[in-house]
A = this chain, B = another copy of it.
Amino acid sequence: MRRIIFLLIAVATTAGLVALVGPAPGHADGQSAPYVTDIPNGYRDWRWISSAHEAGNLNSLGAVLGNDVASKAFRAGTLPFPDGTIIAALHYKNVPSDENNKVFGQAQSFVPGAPTNIQFMVKDSAKYAATGGWGFGHFADGKPGDAAFMKSCFPCHEQAKGSDFVFTRYAP
């Protein structure tokens, strides 16, 4: 989950690469978008699954939250995740905390700064059959990523096939 944003940036900044990725197939009935286009309700109240920090250019600090279905599955180690699972990754700039560092006497404390994006994985094995049963969503300032941007999600998550395409592990 968390590494996808890096890949998205890599893809977005690599001229021509997007063109090499074929269009993600939609639902067989042709009615469903292949991506998550609406922010799931109430995600900010969901249970904490884990935190994540990406150093380097991404310089991100955030958290992964899960709805009831997701948190139960994470805790029980259920694979594949059942339909109804929704996983949310909340990303922020990784910024030093000046007030914390005053107490420490050195620049060692980092906290979430400005929000950068929110990403979702929604499990619906029929609707999203073409992408491992997962619908992917990406929202920055409340606006969904466009189709070209979203094409990079599944190819990256495919590398986590052994954990049902989910990278995040539950923090006990």
Listed in ascending order, the chain A residues whose CB lies under 8 Å from chain B are 2-3, 6-7, 44-48, 50-56, 58, 61-63, 65, 90, 92, 94, 97, 99-100, 102-104, 106-112, 115, 156, 159-160, 167, 169, 171-172
The docked-state distance in angstroms from the alpha carbon of A118 to that of B14 is 43
Q: A52-B109, A61-B51, A110-B53 are in contact. Are A92 and B2 (CB under 8 A)?
A: no
The docked-state distance in angstroms from the alpha carbon of A26 to that of B57 is 49
The docked-state distance in angstroms from the alpha carbon of A46 to that of B48 is 8
The A interface is mostly helix, strand or loop, or mixed, namely mixed
9 closest residue pairs by CB, A with B: A56-B108, A51-B51, A48-B48, A112-B171, A53-B110, A55-B108, A3-B100, A51-B63, A3-B103
Within 8 Å by CB of A99, from B52, B94, B160, lies B160
Stoichiometry (number of copies): 2
Q: Which of A47, A51, A65, A90 is the most central at the interface, judged by chain B CB atoms within 10 Å of its CB?
A: A51
Q: How far is the CB of A108 from chain B (nearest CB, A)?
A: 4
Q: How far is the CB of A118 from chain B (nearest CB, A)?
A: 10
The docked-state distance in angstroms from the alpha carbon of A148 to that of B7 is 48
